[in-house]
Amino acid sequence: MSRHSFLERTLRGFTRAVSKALQSEHAASQPGLLQQLDPRVRVIGILALVIAVILCRRLEAIAAILLIAITIAVASRVSIASLAVRVWLVVLGFSGVIALPALFITPGEPLFTLPALHLSISVQGVRTAVLLVLRVETAATLTTVLVLSTAWTHILKALRSLHLPAEIVTMLAMTHRYVFLLIETANQMFESRQSRAVGVLSGSEQRKMAARTAGVLLSKSIELSQEVYLAMLSRGFRGEVRVLTDFRFKPRDYAGLTVFLFTGCLVVWMGR
């Protein structure tokens, strides 16, 4: 685990973040099912299905939504392979591991007893573990499909027309825009340190370096924000935020919205 220094691992985290961003921009321009719909319909529709996932009480209902999610993914040209890697394996590794002890410690009727260890797995334990993992998988699949098929700016504008306050939307947009700039800056700082490092640094030296880099990054960030502020003033900013949204509902959007909401309600009703 600590064979690789924190520098390398952090740098890897950065590259992962940037490549994730680039990947999602690519899928948004494909001619798929979701891409045909108004972004507002996509946001509301997917959100409705995610809420349905957590309202359902039965395994079969949640599994049904998962199937729907996969269908939407395929129809929207989202690669199953990337879903499997980005979502399914990660969730399994994380929530799967968390759910494992629940098999044993959830009280209820014993299903199966491990001979040597005298630990028994209860029916309720199995059900709860599967419920949890399935819920997380399905919800994550739905949100990933949304993000991959919709440009970030469209998601924000959809949220704006759904009456999220303009300041919040602007802050989300600006944060997203500058994340990549700051990642690049931090990247450069780390890379230059890495090339200068002679030998392996001790834990406390690495900690100091992390803190110092964060400190430099903070100073630069505050400076950047002050310059951005001046640039905004210079172009007429007075505190009110005006965003241009030109989404227009087409007949297929009404259809899409109806299908999403109907499906969500149906599954919840059947799975209660």
Partner 1 sequence: MASTFEVQNISFSYEAIPAIRGLTLHIAEGDRIALLGANGSGKSTLLRILDALYFPSAGTVTFKGDALTEKHLQQDEFFLNFRRRVALVFQNPDVQLFNPTVFDEVAYGPLQLQWSKEEVIRRVDEMLHVMSISHLRDRPPYRLSLGEKKRVALASVLVLDPEVLLLDEPTATLDPKSQSQVVDFIQQWKGTARTVITATHQLEIVEDIADRVFVLEAGTVIAEGTPSEILSDTGLLLRANLIHVHRHSHGGVVHSHPHFHGQPRHEHEH
Partner 2 sequence: MEEANPVEIDEIMHIPDGYLSPSTCATFYLFAATGWYAALKRIKRLLATRAIPLISVFAAFSFVVMMFNVPLPGGTTGHAVGVGIAAIVLGPWGSILAISIALAIQALFFGDGGITTLGANCFNMAIVGSFTAYVVYRMIAAHSNLESRRRVLAAAVAGYVAINASAFVTAVELGIQPVLFHDASGTPLYAPYPLHVAIPAMMIGHLTFAGLAEAAISAGMVSYLQRADLGLLRGVSGLAQAPGTIVADASLGDSPGRLSPRRLWWAVALLMLFTPLGILAAGTAWGEWSSADLMNPHTREQIGAASGNHAPPSSVPVGIEKLSTVWTAPFPGYAPRFIKSPAFGYLLSAMFGVGFMVLASLVARVAGGKWPRRNLHP
Q: Which of residues 132-151 bind partner 1 (CB under 8 A)?
A: 151
Q: Does 245 bind partner 2 (CB under 8 A)?
A: no
- What residues between 57 and 96 interact with partner 1 by CB under 8 A? none
Q: How many residues bind partner 2 (CB under 8 A)?
A: 96
Least gap, CB of 244 to partner 2 (angstroms)? 17
Q: Does 151 bind partner 2 (CB under 8 A)?
A: no
C-alpha span between 208 and 214 (Å, rounded): 10
Judged by beta carbon, residue 214 or residue 255, the one nearer partner 2 is 214
Using the 8-state DSSP alphabet, how is residue 272 labeled?
A: -
Q: Which stretch binds partner 2 (CB under 8 A): 16-24, 32-40, 113-121, 250-258?
A: 16-24
Using the 8-state DSSP alphabet, how is residue 1 labeled?
A: -
Q: Does 88 bind partner 2 (CB under 8 A)?
A: no
Q: Does 229 bind partner 2 (CB under 8 A)?
A: yes
Instruction: Provide long-range contacts, Cβ within 8 A and 24+ apart, for 235-244.
Output: 240/166, 241/166, 241/167, 241/169, 241/170, 242/166, 243/157, 243/160, 243/166, 243/169, 243/170
Judged by beta carbon, residue 203 or residue 236, the one nearer partner 1 is 236
C-alpha span between 253 and 250 (Å, rounded): 5
C-alpha span between 104 and 125 (Å, rounded): 6
Least gap, CB of 143 to partner 2 (angstroms)? 6
Please give the distance of CA 121 from its chain centroid, rounded to a whole number: 33
Which residues, other chains included, contact 25 with Cβ-Cβ below 8 Å and sequence gap of 6+?
151, 152
Least gap, CB of 120 to partner 2 (angstroms)? 15
Least gap, CB of 40 to partner 2 (angstroms)? 15
Residue whose entry in the numeric block shows the structure tokens 């834990």: 203
Q: Does 53 bind partner 2 (CB under 8 A)?
A: yes
**Among partner 1, partner 2, none, partner that 95 touches (CB below 5 to 8 angstroms by kind):** partner 2
**Among partner 2, partner 1, none, partner that 104 touches (CB below 5 to 8 angstroms by kind):** none
| C-alpha count within 13 angstroms, C-beta hemisphere, residue 2 | 5
Least gap, CB of 118 to partner 1 (angstroms)? 58
Nearest to residue 36, comparing CAs of 199, 265, 254? 254
Residue type, 58: R
- What residues between 200 and 219 interact with partner 2 by CB under 8 A? 203, 206-208, 210-219
Residues that bind partner 1 (CB under 8 A): 25, 151-153, 156, 173-174, 176-178, 180-181, 224, 227-228, 230-238, 242-244, 246
